Chains A and B, each alone.
Chain A
Amino acid sequence: DTAVSQTPKYLVTQMGNDKSIKCEQNLGHDTMYWYKQDSKKFLKIMFSYNNKELIINETVPNRFSPKSPDKAHLNLHINSLELGDSAVYFCASSQEGRGLGNTIYFGEGSWLTVV
């Protein structure tokens, strides 16, 4: 059983479109994240939710809007896609989000290509 699953795995779309990436975790964790990994493999946190509440919102354009309907789901909606949004987006979860050293479990990533 996949612990953190995200869909779609691959997404190719045109500039200006709106797209969503869905994420679900079955680990019973309280905290979920979205990370962005660019072409140089830099992995940067975008958002973090704890029990459906937004606790980290890095300097991400407001075209990116996370939504957490319940603590097992954290979806990412992106409006007006730009070429620079092309990257791999990772959903992740952990039991405790306060940096106390809990393991972060990652999904397999969603490869977004904007053309």
Chain B
Amino acid sequence: SQQGEEDPQALSIQEGENATMNCSYKTSINNLQWYRQNSGRGLVHLILIRSNEREKHSGRLRVTLDTSKKSSSLLITASRAADTASYFCATDDWGYQKVTFGTGTKLQVIP
């Protein structure tokens, strides 16, 4: 079964607004990553946060991690039309040798 579940499944916002996506997972993790997938393309890595970190920034991206709640959030500030894509969280399970992807949030940014 999927490790992570994103919420919401779909999100539509106006350009310039902030977009927040959440990811919940089930087991203890080493790291959590966020990826973006443009329509018809492969996934592209955005940011990684380690289990001992609580917050990380990269440009307009802000990721938080709450290991006690087994959840993470991705905030995209000042969204642009080019941010329209699906966003996936990915976790690597403690003791396992694989990265498991969540169900994804489809973000639409309206110009």
Question: How many angstroms from the CA of A90 to the CA of B101 in the assembled complex?
Answer: 13
Q: Give the number of residue pairs across the A-B interface with Cβ within 8 Å.
A: 68
CA distance in complex: A43, B93 (Å): 16
Given A56-B98, A99-B99, A100-B92, A43-B43 contact (CB < 8 Å): yes
> Do B42 and A108 touch across chains, with their CB atoms under 8 A apart?
yes
Interface residues on A, range: 20 to 34
CB distance from B43 to the nearest CB of A (A): 5
Closest A-B pairs by Cβ, 3 of them: A99-B92, A106-B42, A101-B31
Contact of B30 among A100, A104, A105 (CB under 8 A): A100
**A-contact bits for B84-103, CB 8 A (1 contact / 0 none):** 00101010110011111101
Write the B21-50 contact mask toward A (1 if CB under 8 angstroms, else 0): 000000000110101010011111100101
Say if the beta carbon of A103 comes within 8 Å of chain B.
yes
Given B42, B48, B90, B104, which contacts A90 in the complex, CB threshold below 8 Å?
A: B42
- What residues of chain A lie closer than 8 Å to B50, measured between beta carbons? 101
